[in-house]
């Protein structure tokens, strides 16, 4: 589950453009796998990078609703434009254009690489990353509560967010999350505090607002301040810290991996930040990381709150779709050893794929699941705790695609597996809870096998001990290493890994 799966609005905002060359960290992964670069999490400085000689290929157009789109320069400013040159639907001003982009040309982008669009090919001309997209959000912002309120008042005098500047600064002080970012995020997600979810549920960040039913599923908060404090805490521990469940790097680009379906989400928030206060080169270079100093704030009401009263003689507004209809047939069956985890605080494990079906149990956040398949309505058939049942897919973090290690056959029943990483694991990853959660052995018949996972004498080696009595003769098993393990140097294992093994008869 991600915190929000809403497609964001496009805001007309102004940015000052700049280049960023992120620092390179050591790679982290299994020594027997190809290396994967860990994401950088802090701003190292601003510089330019022009690519020569030009690389040539055709950048594919993005599908709706994220495309088609392109980039162009007008009066020395770079614009991200949605639509085609002959039919523009929306645009964002990204600020002063880098020197390798010139007025009169049409450009397309692949990640952070810009290409000159030609008739049959696209030519790579340079790399551009707005600095706010890669700012470590654990550094204090350079806006006061009064400055935040003044910006909101000037930009949208009717916004109910006027007066919330103190809450954004309080969240920064308590939970170590940049107040400038939090304000921009709230502005974008809540349409200046005037969306239905913001007005009716005081939910400024689309927390728990899922694509299939955003209004109904969105959490309810007692007030805007409570929404700001809780989401600041949630973002810090789940997205910005290396031990977080959804961590990839401590910046907007890293958050965009899991937080929102919109690939331009980070760019849009960075653009609002730039509109609020232009980035000043070097101002964050020596800034220390903030610490989380306060206890967790009260949790929101996770279940949908009742709809607000509708005055007599008026129609009830649309509040999202209804619950999925029962559909037992699997639209996709998964191979044995496909795992997932519960990604909400309490998830109903039901006998059938329906909200009306009998409840087998309630699963807590992080509970591992063996996923057998998914039906057309988005329900997973799963095994856990010796039971087979159904969970709704929006509340599960599933590894439907993962890397495969070479299979092993004729394995002894008492086999102890050794997992060696190319970097030492962090202390958080070496706890018994983390090891049992991230390293599993499963089979198709019984689901999870009761193994023991223990650290070896070296901090980059784990031992996987067999169950009491050993593995079953002739049995087929999968050793599974879930993404999310972190090394001491930061970053995380970005993808899950699986290895099939067969036991001697």
Q: With bands split at pLDDT 50, 70 and 90, how would you rate the model's confidence at 462?
A: confident
Q: With bands split at pLDDT 50, 70 and 90, how would you rate the model's confidence at 303?
A: very low
Q: With bands split at pLDDT 50, 70 and 90, how would you rate the model's confidence at 309?
A: very low
Class of domain 330-398: mainly beta
What are the DSSP calls for 156-167, one per residue? -TT-TTTT-HHH
CA distances from 180 to 112, 237, 278, 279 (A): 24, 18, 11, 11
Is this prediction's pTM over 0.75? no
Please, what's the b/e burial string for 35-62 (b: 16 or more CB within 10 A of its CB; e: otherwise)?
Answer: ebebbbbbbeebeeeeeeeeeeeebeee
CATH 2.60.40.1220 domain span(s) along the chain: 403-503
DSSP H or E stretch at residue 371? strand 368-375
Q: With bands split at pLDDT 50, 70 and 90, how would you rate the model's confidence at 323?
A: very low
- pLDDT tens for each residue of 115-174: 999 878 899 999 988 889 999 999 999 999 999 999 999 999 999 999 999 999 999 999
- pLDDT tens for each residue of 32-58: 322 222 222 223 233 334 434 446 778
CATH architecture type of domain 403-503: Sandwich (2.60)
**Tokens at residue 453, please?**
């996972």
- DSSP class of residue 261 equals S
Is the confidence at residue 304, as pLDDT, over 80?
no
Class of domain 134-276: mainly alpha
CATH 1.10.530.10 domain span(s) along the chain: 134-276
Helices (H) and strands (E) in the chain, counts: 9, 24
| Helices of type H across 24-144 | none
CATH 2.30.30.40 domain span(s) along the chain: 330-398
Q: How far apart are CA 353 and CA 374, in angstroms?
A: 10
């Amino acid at each position: 589950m991600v915190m929000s799966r809403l497609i964001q609005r496009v805001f007309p905002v102004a940015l000052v453009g700049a280049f960023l060359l992120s620092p390179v960290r050591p790679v982290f992964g299994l020594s027997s796998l190809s290396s994967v670069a860990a994401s950088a999490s802090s701003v190292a400085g601003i510089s330019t990078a022009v690519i020569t000689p030009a690389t040539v290929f055709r950048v594919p157009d993005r599908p709706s609703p994220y495309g088609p789109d392109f980039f162009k320069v007008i009066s020395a400013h770079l614009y991200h434009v949605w639509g085609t040159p002959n039919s523009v639907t929306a645009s964002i001003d990204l600020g002063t254009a880098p020197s390798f982009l010139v007025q009169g040309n049409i450009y397309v982008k692949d990640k952070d690489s810009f290409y000159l669009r030609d008739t049959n090919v696209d030519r790579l001309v340079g790399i551009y990353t707005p600095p706010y997209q890669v700012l470590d959000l654990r550094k204090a912002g350079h806006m006061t509560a009064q400055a935040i309120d003044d910006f909101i008042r000037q930009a949208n005098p009717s916004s109910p967010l006027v007066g919330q500047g103190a809450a954004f600064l309080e969240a920064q002080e308590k939970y170590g999350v940049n107040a400038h970012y939090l304000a921009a995020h709230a502005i974008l997600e809540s349409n200046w505090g005037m969306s239905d979810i913001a007005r009716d549920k005081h939910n400024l960040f689309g927390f728990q607002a899922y694509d299939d039913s955003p209004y109904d599923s969105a959490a309810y908060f007692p007030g805007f301040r409570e929404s700001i404090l809780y989401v600041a805490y949630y973002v810090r521990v789940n997205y910005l810290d290396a031990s977080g469940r959804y961590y990839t790097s401590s910046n907007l680009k890293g958050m965009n991996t899991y937080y929102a379906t919109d690939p331009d989400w980070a760019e849009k928030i960075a653009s609002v930040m730039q509109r609020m206060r232009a980035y000043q080169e070097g101002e964050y270079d020596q800034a220390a990381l903030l610490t989380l100093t306060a206890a967790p704030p009260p949790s929101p009401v996770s279940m949908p709150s009742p709809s607000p009263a509708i005055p007599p003689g008026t129609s009830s507004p649309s509040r999202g779709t209804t619950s999925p209809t029962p559909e037992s047939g699997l639209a996709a069956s998964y191979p044995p050893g496909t795992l997932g985890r519960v990604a909400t605080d309490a998830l109903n494990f039901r006998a059938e794929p329906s909200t009306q079906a009998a409840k087998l149990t309630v699963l807590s956040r992080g509970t591992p699941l063996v996923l057998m398949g998914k039906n057309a309505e988005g329900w997973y058939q799963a095994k856990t705790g010796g039971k087979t049942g159904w969970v709704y897919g929006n509340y599960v973090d599933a590894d439907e695609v993962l890397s495969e290690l070479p299979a092993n056959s004729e394995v002894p029943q008492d086999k102890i597996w050794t997992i060696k990483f190319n970097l030492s694991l962090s202390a958080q990853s070496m706890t018994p809870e983390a090891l049992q959660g991230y390293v599993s052995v499963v089979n198709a018949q019984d689901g999870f096998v009761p193994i023991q996972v223990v650290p070896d004498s070296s901090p980059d080696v784990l031992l996987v001990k067999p169950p009491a009595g050993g593995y079953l003769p002739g049995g087929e098993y999968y050793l599974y290493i879930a993404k999310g393990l972190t090394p001491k140097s930061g970053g995380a294992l970005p993808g899950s890994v699986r290895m099939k093994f067969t036991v001697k008869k």
